[in-house]
Structure 1
Amino acid sequence: MNDHGNDQDTYRAAATRLVAARHPHALGALLGGSAAQGRATPSSDLDLAVLLPDSGHSGREVVRHEGRLAELFLNTLADIPEFFAWDRSRRRGTVLFLYDRGLPLTDPHGHVARTRELARQVLASGPAPLAPEEREHSRYALTCFLDDLVDPGDPADRHEQLSVAEHVLREAAHLLTAHHNAWTGIGKWLPRRLLDADPVLGRALLDGRRAVAEHADPGPLAAATEQVLDLLGGPLREGYAHRWKP
């Protein structure tokens, strides 16, 4: 059994050295992601939130440190409120969660602690709701993808079926998390956030996607998707209209 406590100490020490080397004037930093949660693998990168003085520049850096990739999310103190508002508007809250769940590395003046408290307040308010037009467009798109999923088409063309199933899962997750006023995600965070938002229906969507991949059976995913659409007023086909805005 791995000693996750020792692993975390190792990652924290490496992350602290990285911040000291690249950003010696940082106001503070913390380690997030898999390394902070005891879920890191030998190939996992290090995710760090670094708080800079206002003379610095907000942005993102990807570097290799001591043989391991590291992604640094840089924010100046002045930029934090606006950046957190933008992170909330995306409904993923990437940096918000870094501050909420990360392990502090250094915080000599308490700036990281205050920023963490602000992040938690923003997270508690939930992600930005979908605008009615965005919600209806997503509902229409999911209906179209569902129709493609259940259309037998060419049974030998697995590439098309798998591509459609991916779009169904992503669009359904987008709508289901929004329905529950819950945060969403991409990549490996999509299933995690989806299960946080709705353990039952989220699991049905994920298991349905697996049924398509492993057995070429779209039935379970289609059934779960129909449940998502039913929460939002049902499928949307005829009657949908969208006006282009330059």
Structure 2
Amino acid sequence: MRDALIDQARRLTAERYPEAWSVVLAGSVAAGRERAGSDLDLAVLLPDGHPTHRETLRHEGRLVEVFAHTLAGLAELRAFDAASRRVVIQQMYATGLVLLDRDGHAARLAADCRAELLAGPAPLGDERRDALRYALTDLLEDLGDTPDRLEALAIGTETVRSAADLLCDHHLAWIGTGKWFPRRLLAAAPDLGARLLDAHRALSETGDPAALLAAAAEVLDLAGGPLSAGYRRDWPTAARPAAPAPAPAGKA
């Protein structure tokens, strides 16, 4: 099946992107984890003058996710992904299968992206880390106090997300969403990350939050401990909503 999907990706490339400088096939097909319904994920490098965009299309009955960009557009995408600590486009280039490479662009980008992934993200600043510590402290208080199972499940989901952010920051590791959430968490912290995920599953299956409270508290200790009373965060002036204009004379 994999060879057939690779051939299909090559046909799509020839039909829709004949001017491309490079094309990289990423995702489950490139990793050898394809299934019958797998889509095709393509990173397409285009000459200057083309728009950088993401497009979902259907080719020969199969969904295709296209990440198309110029070199300048790709630099912006990489900067955005690094700032968000998710590195989606870097993962595509670092681990993808090269279908087309004019002038060695794909090879150079793959090497750069592998180095970026290996280096890890910059540490969270104190303000962001404290905000996460405060949020997780509050979540743990609510999780241990609510008798409502639906509320506990909702709080538990937020607890795992906040704890994962702090734990990945502790290890200077990238984070992920969707299926990449557990993958990145387990890569960053195989033991404590697994306990967080198992505890969240136990909460959903049994309604017992004890394991999640313990695992998340351990993460909180690694990040500097609980933070509640005494926490202050000033609202940036530029982010404040504008004050309403005064009413004209004679009107309420």
Q: TM-score, normalised by structure 2?
A: 0.90
**2:17 corresponds to:** 23
Which amino acid in 2 is paired with 1:33? G
Partner of 1:60, secondary structure, is strand
* Unaligned stretches of 5+ residues in structure 1: 1-6
Superposed counterparts of 1:1-246, under 5 Å: 7-154=1-148, 158-245=149-236, 246=239
Asked if structure 1 preserves the Cα contact closer than 8 Å seen for 2:10 and 2:99, the reply is yes
Which amino acid in 2 is paired with 1:28? S
Post-superposition offset of 1:196: 0.2
For 2:17 and 2:44, locate their aligned partners in 1 and report how far apart those are by CA, in whole Å: 8
Asked if structure 2 preserves the Cα contact closer than 8 Å seen for 1:32 and 1:98, the reply is yes
**RMSD of Structure 2 on Structure 1 (CA):** 1.2
Post-superposition offset of 1:146: 1.2
For 2:230 and 2:98, locate their aligned partners in 1 and report how far apart those are by CA, in whole Å: 52
Asked if structure 2 preserves the Cα contact closer than 8 Å seen for 1:92 and 1:127, the reply is no
* Unaligned stretches of 5+ residues in structure 2: 240-252
Post-superposition offset of 1:197: 0.1
**1:4 corresponds to:** none
Partner of 2:176, secondary structure, is coil
Query: Deviation string for 1:154-212 (max 9, x for gaps)?
Result: 3xxx3211111110111111111011000100011000000000000000000000001
Which amino acid in 2 is paired with 1:205? L
For 2:108 and 2:128, locate their aligned partners in 1 and report how far apart those are by CA, in whole Å: 34
For 2:96 and 2:202, locate their aligned partners in 1 and report how far apart those are by CA, in whole Å: 35
For 2:87 and 2:156, locate their aligned partners in 1 and report how far apart those are by CA, in whole Å: 25
For 2:72 and 2:225, locate their aligned partners in 1 and report how far apart those are by CA, in whole Å: 44
Query: Deviation string for 1:13-51 (max 9, x for gaps)?
Result: 111112222222111111111111121222222111111
Partner of 1:78, secondary structure, is helix
Q: TM-score, normalised by structure 1?
A: 0.92
Partner of 1:236, secondary structure, is coil
Partner of 2:85, secondary structure, is coil
Partner of 1:79, secondary structure, is helix
Asked if structure 1 preserves the Cα contact closer than 8 Å seen for 2:90 and 2:114, the reply is yes
| Greater mean alpha carbon deviation, residues 53-62 or residues 113-122 | 113-122
For 2:163 and 2:152, locate their aligned partners in 1 and report how far apart those are by CA, in whole Å: 16
Partner of 1:238, secondary structure, is coil
For 1:129 and 1:64, locate their aligned partners in 2 and report how far apart those are by CA, in whole Å: 40
Superposed structure 1 runs of 4+ greater than 6 Å apart: none
Asked if structure 2 preserves the Cα contact closer than 8 Å seen for 1:183 and 1:193, the reply is yes
**1:3 corresponds to:** none
Post-superposition offset of 1:102: 0.4
Counting aligned pairs with the same residue, the percent is 50
| Greater mean alpha carbon deviation, residues 183-192 or residues 50-59 | 50-59
